[in-house]
Structure 1
Amino acid sequence: MSTTRLHPVPATTKGTHAMLDIARSELVQIFRNRLVLVTGLIIPAAAGGYFVYQHETFSELGSPGYIAAIVMFTVMAFGLYTTAVTTLASRRQDLFLKRLRSTAASDQSILAGLVLPVVVLSLVQVVAILTVFAVVTGNPARIPLLVVAILATTAMMGALALATAGLTNSPEHAQVTTLPVSLAVIAVASWVGISGTEELGYLKRLLPGGSATELVVHAWDGGVPLVESLSLVLPTMAWVAIAVALAGRLFQWEPRR
């Protein structure tokens, strides 16, 4: 079956209203679906809370910045990425995507509306858990830099979700297709957070999640020039561009066969 490319439509006020209407509807569905509620909210929050609760144990492996990065990627991998892929696959399977595309809403408004609630909920979880962590261990050295790291990571995981959804046949299939990326970004974050970037630095920064992890470490622990830290945003945004390009080629609006 041939893929359907996403076609660009100029942003309009009408498109924004359509996106928000879809987002509100999707938010209601999230709280009605127990499986999504557990996998998208409870499990990531519980896992992130565990890292904070056991921070003294994990501090033997790395700095507070490392723990903050692991918390961020745990929530983003399972709360945002996996849930977004499952949502898009489900909406495709029940033909909801096809019906939405027959309306006046643009492709971008539809996809943004479906993913927006998951993004917002994940951001709320990350901010809440890291706030508690900051109270326990001390404030991060550079809060604005931490915000940049969180937003860049959110963009990367959201874009990867769109690309992965193009390869996912059903919500059940999403449990398989999301595992490689979910486990990879957490593994890379652990590798970079524990071993640093003194060795194989370029490789670690080019891997998905590597530069974002280092950026969180710099933001939380301090001690690194701001210009050097901000340059770490570039590899993460490169992954955003790659994922969006893949999504444009792979994403389908009708059920996959």
Structure 2
Amino acid sequence: MIVALGVAELKLLLRNRTAAALAVLMPLATGLFFALQMDGEEGGWTMVVTLQLLFSFGFTVYVTVTTALTARRQDLYLKRLRTGAASDVVVLTGILLPVVLLGVVQALVLLGISVAAGAPVPARPDLLALALVGGVALSCAAGVATSGVTGTAELAQITTAPFFFALIIGGLFGSDGVVDLPVFLVPGTGLGSLVGAAWGGPTDQIGPAALSVALWAIAATALAGRFFRWDPRG
């Protein structure tokens, strides 16, 4: 059932040219641009990889989840699925699964492009994996929460902007090196710190960085449970 729902959702996503461009083409094009700008330079790859991952998390996962759930709710697709034999968890998992997998694959492709363009191999791949899993989980949960306060799919461009830019800005702060602890309150800072540490940066803030990612993921999940709606907004 989950696989069938996932395949159906992927087809719906690809039929919408705007959504497909935001989910697939935009992050790939942006990530490729960042990598090519390095032109063989050795320094600065941490920031490039951080931006590549954050754009994958932000566009491919967060914005797409918000837009897809809002659109499916408004055309009563969610309501129809809920009246079937599948449970609520199965329905949501089936809809979110292709977006999550797309985000992971896209992040890995961009990492491969960077390595091919001259980026060093991460010294701590375990921290990179932690950032990847945490970033996808955080962005997915935040997308579910944001969909609950988004009236239409068109409005998703506005409602997703605050968290998206906070994710990017926080990631840039985190990848720059050691940051003050209050900065970890910004979503994305922990992810940037983990990516920086994976590429040989300071490792003395791994604990606060991982805690920040976990707390943001938990908070986003709690907000998703509070605000997510199955029926269209009045």
TM-score exceeds 0.5:
yes
2:233 corresponding residue in structure 1:
256
* Native 8 Å contact 2:2 2:90 kept in 1: yes
- Going from structure 1 to structure 2, the CA distance change for 1:28 and 1:215 (only over 3 Å counts) comes to same
Q: Which residue of 2 aligns with 1:193?
A: 175
Equivalent residue for 1:21? 4
Post-superposition Cα deviations, 1:143-195, rounded to whole Å, max 9, x if no partner, equal 2221111111110000100110110111011111011111111111123333x
Q: Which runs of 5+ in 2 are unaligned?
A: none
Q: Distance in 2 between matches of 1:180 and 1:148?
A: 24
Residues 1:207 and 1:229: Cα distance change in structure 2 (over 3 Å): same
8 Å contact from structure 2 (residues 183, 189) kept in 1:
yes
- Which has the higher Rg, Structure 1 or Structure 2? 1
Moved over 4 A (4+): 56-60
Q: Quick one: which amino acid aligns to residue 26 of structure 1?
A: E
> In 2, are the aligned partners of 1:48 and 1:71 still within 8 Å (CA)?
yes
Instruction: Spell out the pairing of 1:1-257 with structure 2 (5 A cutoff).
Output: 18-55=1-38, 63-135=44-116, 136-194=118-176, 196-198=177-179, 201-222=180-201, 224=203, 229=206, 232-257=209-234
* Aligned length in residues: 233
Deviation at 1:58? 9.3
Post-superposition offset of 1:112: 1.4
Distance 2:64 2:94 in 1: 14
RMSD value, Cα? 1.9
Q: Tell whether the 8 Å contact from 1:159 to 1:243 is kept in structure 2 after alignment.
A: yes
Q: RCO higher in 1 or 2 (8 Å CA, sep ≥ 6)?
A: 1
Contact 2:175–2:195 (CA<8 Å) still a contact in 1?
no
Identity among equivalent pairs (%): 34
Deviation string, structure 1 residues 66-122 (Cα, Å, up to 9, x no partner): 221111001111111101100000000000000011012111111111111111111
TM-score (norm 1): 0.85
Report the 3-state secondary structure (helix = DSSP H, G, I; strand = E; otherwise coil) of the residue aligned with 2:154. Answer: helix
Which runs of 5 or more structure 1 residues have no equivalent in the other structure? 1-17
Change in Cα spacing, 1:157 to 1:94, as seen in structure 2 (3 Å) is same
